Amino acid sequence: MNIFPIHTRADHQKAMKRVSELMQLDPSPSSSESDELEVLAELIEAYEKKHHDLGSPTPAELIAFVMEQRGLTKGEMASYLGSPSRVSEVLNGKRALTLPMIRNLHVQLGLPLEPLVMGTASNPSSRPAKPRRSVVLRQKKATAMSKKRRVQSKAL
């Protein structure tokens, strides 16, 4: 067994080379080569996480990556996100994912939930814009009318 701590880039390259060799052997699950492969993979993962951790992708980064990997167009993504313009808005960070969008991406494309949900919640720039002024004014007017009706009905 050739297990050793990974402290430097050279150690990392050496471990990667050994993992490649072990993968070529296709060891049986109960063999010492399989155990070595498992331990080296854990060591490599720990080293890479410490030295090369890029963090979780944003929803837009994850969607763009999947589109590139699977050769999907904005038009094809529209079936998951609503429309080609909505796809552009999501990819540009101008629109947050809604729960139905997240559900579609997770169920239909098999994307992991965590970056879709957490990325949307933690990225204020991807949140939906405030409602237009006319919508806000209509809501205020409706609330005022409702209060007025209550006051009138109490007076009777």
The answer to whether position 113 is within a domain reads yes
Structural domain for 73, as ranges: 59-126
pLDDT value of residue 132:
54
pLDDT value of residue 22:
87
The answer to whether position 147 is within a domain reads no
pLDDT value of residue 27:
87
Distances, alpha carbon 41 to alpha carbons 28, 34, 120, in Å: 16, 11, 31
Question: In CATH, what number is assigned to the domain containing residue 73?
Answer: 1.10.260.40
The answer to whether position 150 is within a domain reads no
CB 60 within 8 A of CB 115: no
pLDDT, averaged per 10 consecutive residues of the chain (156 residues), comes to 84 91 88 90 88 79 92 94 93 91 92 80 49 63 73 69
**Cα–Cα distance between 61 and 83 in angstroms, integer?**
18
pLDDT value of residue 121:
55
Residues 121 and 63 in one domain: yes
pLDDT value of residue 128:
47
Give residue 136's identity as a one-letter amino acid code: V
The answer to whether position 155 is within a domain reads no
Residues 89 and 118 in one domain: yes
pLDDT value of residue 112:
86
The answer to whether position 41 is within a domain reads yes
pLDDT value of residue 129:
47
